[in-house]
Chain A
Amino acid sequence: DTAVSQTPKYLVTQMGNDKSIKCEQNLGHDTMYWYKQDSKKFLKIMFSYNNKELIINETVPNRFSPKSPDKAHLNLHINSLELGDSAVYFCASSQGDVHTEAFFGQGTRLTVV
């Protein structure tokens, strides 16, 4: 039973399209995250939600909009996709402070053509 699951695993789309990535965790954690891993493997935080409230919003284009319908779900919607959005997007979750273990999903590889 997967702890943090993301769908889809692969996403290929054309420039200008709108797409969503879904994330669900069954660990009962109160904090969820979206990280972006670029082509050089560099990982950077994008958003963080705690109990459905946005607590971290890094300098990410407005085209990226996270939504947390409940504590177990954190979705990422991207409008007007650009070539530079191609990356692997990871969802993660943790309970309480981040010094507790963060569990990561398998990642969604987004390719914009």
Chain B
Amino acid sequence: AQSVTQLGSHVSVSEGALVLLRCNYSSSVPPYLFWYVQYPNQGLQLLLKYTTGATLVKGINGFEAEFKKSETSFHLTKPSAHMSDAAEYFCAVSLSRLTGRRALTFGSGTRLQVQP
């Protein structure tokens, strides 16, 4: 069964500092990988995704993530945090390409706090 692990339920950084949110997946075959962001009392918004091709993926708001098959990881980074980045971040996977199952499996989420 596929699963997603996000290390650290809370991450706090200073404004301007590097943001690193960790995500590891367990699957014998690389899945499709996603990062979503959830602002308070709102729905989820896609930040970026990896399907095939280039392993370094750039997303919205200056975020990027790198798919590392050898490490089964898809960590999210941003060089310089902004106050507006404070939100809940979810890593998600899908194996729909192989199983036909059209649904995302989400990690437990990481709350990012940005200190002034």
Bound together? yes
List A residues at the B interface (Cβ < 8 Å): 4, 31, 33, 40-45, 48, 50, 55-56, 90, 92, 94, 97-99, 101-102, 104-107
Which residues does chain B contribute within 8 Å of A56, judged by CB atoms?
Answer: 101-103
Is the CB–CB distance between B42 and A106 below 8 Å?
yes
How many residue pairs link A and B with beta carbons under 8 A? The number is 61
A interface: dominant SS: strand
Task: Specify which chain B residues have a CB less than 8 angstroms from the CB of A40 in the assembled complex.
Answer: 108
B24 interface contact, C-beta 8 A: no
CB distance from B53 to the nearest CB of A (A): 12
B102 to chain A: closest CB distance in Å? 5
A43 CA to B41 CA in the complex, in Å? 14
Contact of B97 with A102 in the complex, beta carbons under 8 Å: no
**Which residue of chain A has its CB nearest to the CB of B42?**
A106
30 inter-chain pairs at a CB distance below 8 angstroms, sorted by A residue, are A4-B43, A31-B102, A33-B102, A41-B38, A41-B88, A41-B108, A42-B109, A43-B109, A44-B106, A45-B104, A45-B105, A48-B102, A50-B102, A90-B43, A92-B44, A94-B102, A97-B96, A97-B97, A98-B94, A98-B102, A99-B32, A99-B49, A99-B51, A99-B96, A101-B46, A102-B46, A102-B104, A105-B43, A107-B41, A107-B43
